[in-house]
Amino acid sequence: MDLVAYFKNVFAPALRASFGKSERGAALVEYALLVALIAVVCIAAIQVLGNNADSTFSNVGSKIGEAGS
């Protein structure tokens, strides 16, 4: 039996039997990518909202300062 026939008849089915049905690794990678994407979106949203909140508080503070004078 040559090497290619041995691989097709013995080794390939053994690989499919041990790795073919388990998708835990693929699911883990997908979940990790999803968590990373959510983290990036959250960081971007916090930066945008933080800048908006900073300018709003500055405007309110200046209005209060003008009213107190």
pLDDT-based confidence at residue 19 (cuts at 50, 70, 90): low
Amino acid present at 35: V
Please say if the pLDDT value at position 1 is more than 60: no
Taking alpha carbons only, the member of 29, 26, 48 closest to residue 37 is 29
Cα(49)–Cα(43) distance, rounded to whole angstroms?
A: 10
Q: Where are the beta strands (DSSP E) in 1-69?
A: none
Of 69 and 66, which is predicted with more confidence? 66
What pLDDT does 18 receive? 67
Q: What percent of the chain has a predicted confidence (pLDDT) above 70?
A: 80
